[in-house]
Amino acid sequence: MRAETAGITITGTAQREAWHSKVLPPVELVAAGVHSVPVVFPGNPMRYTLSYVLLDGDECVVVDPGFDSDEGHGQLIAALASLDVGPREITGIVATHFHTDHLGMAARLASGSGAWIALGNNERRHISAFEDAHEESALDQTRMRAWGVPEERVPEAAMTPESLLDMRRLADPDRRLGDNDILSVAGRNWRIMDTPGHTPGHICLWDDAGELVLSGDHVLPRISPNVSLEIRGDTDPLRRNIESLQKIAGNDHYEVCPAHEYRFRGVGHRARVLEEHITERSREVLAVLSAGASTVHDVARQLTWSRGWASLGQLQFRLALSETAAHIRYLATSGIHPGVPGLVAAP
């Protein structure tokens, strides 16, 4: 992950100040009927999710309600109360993708209100409600061994039954949203854009009349969102992500409302910078492969990591491996390098 904000205009200045002072940003009115609400993401360096509350008469739709914790739930309910909305009055929930810091709280909010829950057409989580988390975790350990992870680090790299159970508890959607669908709420017609990459069914919501885009984790102002070869993910997620960056790159004057960090203008510039980072990283991966690295782990340990390879633990270690695997797959499907044995495609 690399941090830079040159070339974009930061519009969420209070959000950026809060980011630097390590406090929660304020609840803000972004545009008529569109409010941003920070919801804590405990124990994660992203610190919080920016949820968006879309209000319109009797309708209240929450986009990316955030991670499910009592503290985060209290923050969201307090913000709604300040807007004169009770928890039972939530009518709909949209998650830009299935990750726990986006979809996590949907089940709790829906059980108190009966709100519908919507996800992108192509979104799928790592485990279904019918699968055994222990079996899946064992399979994932096998995958990590095939990626060349030393035996003593396999338990750390593989998904644990606990994390898979957390994922299995996520709400099932009642509605699916696909490319160019229109969601009318808050007096605005939100156009859905499929933006696979970070996850297979990630979506962004565009308000063309109001020149706003809710970008989820697809485009963030400061860091590069993680793109990984994952269980049941895309088989070539990096290619999907590059296509999605090119797809979102128009409309530089729109205000981008991301799910983390702060609002900004300059989505085209930002998308190009993110694409350049991918290209640079691919070159680095290719150099290591060409020098003879023979497994995903062997490649990953020779790449540069901002916090240093040795300090990557657990989740960061796993993400480093699956990001490297995504690059190896991309180089292989581009016909640039045959890849490494043991890079098993996610089913």
Residues within the interface to Zn ion (CB under 5 A): 101, 217
Q: Provide the token pair at 42.
A: 């405990």
Given the complex with Zn ion, which of 207 and 217 has the nearer CB atom? 217
Given the complex with Zn ion, which of 101 and 140 has the nearer CB atom? 101
Q: Give the residue ranges of DSSP H helices in the chain.
A: 13-20, 70-82, 100-103, 106-113, 133-146, 154-157, 161-168, 237-248, 267-290, 296-301, 314-333
Exposed e or buried b per residue across 215-235, where buried means at least 16 C-beta atoms within 10 angstroms of its C-beta = bbbbbbbbbbbbbbbbbebbe
Torsion sign (Cα): 260, 261, 264, 267: negative
State whether residue 28 is helix, strand or coil. strand
- As measured in angstroms, the least distance from the Cβ of 143 to Zn ion is 24
- As measured in angstroms, the least distance from the Cβ of 302 to Zn ion is 28
Report yes or no: 334 and 285 within 8 Å, Cβ to Cβ: no
- As measured in angstroms, the least distance from the Cβ of 326 to Zn ion is 17
State whether residue 243 is helix, strand or coil. helix
Q: How far apart (Å, rounded) are the C-alpha atoms in residues 187 and 30?
A: 14
- As measured in angstroms, the least distance from the Cβ of 98 to Zn ion is 11
- As measured in angstroms, the least distance from the Cβ of 104 to Zn ion is 10
- As measured in angstroms, the least distance from the Cβ of 199 to Zn ion is 10
Q: Provide the token pair at 245.
A: 């960056």
CA–CA distances in Å: residue 211 to residues 167, 189, 200, 252, 319: 34, 11, 26, 10, 34
- As measured in angstroms, the least distance from the Cβ of 214 to Zn ion is 13
Q: How far apart (Å, rounded) are the C-alpha atoms in residues 61 and 91?
A: 6
Given the complex with Zn ion, which of 68 and 217 has the nearer CB atom? 217
Given the complex with Zn ion, which of 198 and 301 has the nearer CB atom? 198
Report yes or no: 46 and 101 within 8 Å, Cβ to Cβ: yes
- As measured in angstroms, the least distance from the Cβ of 217 to Zn ion is 4
Given the complex with Zn ion, which of 189 and 316 has the nearer CB atom? 316
DSSP characters for 120-157?
A: ETT---SS-TTS-HHHHHHHHHHHHHHTT--GGGHHHH
Given the complex with Zn ion, which of 48 and 254 has the nearer CB atom? 48
- As measured in angstroms, the least distance from the Cβ of 85 to Zn ion is 24
Q: How far apart (Å, rounded) are the C-alpha atoms in residues 229 and 195?
A: 16
Given the complex with Zn ion, which of 258 and 266 has the nearer CB atom? 258
No. of helices (H) and no. of strands (E), the chain: 11, 14
State whether residue 204 is helix, strand or coil. strand
φ, ψ of residue 127 to 5 degrees: the values are -145, 140
Given the complex with Zn ion, which of 104 and 339 has the nearer CB atom? 104
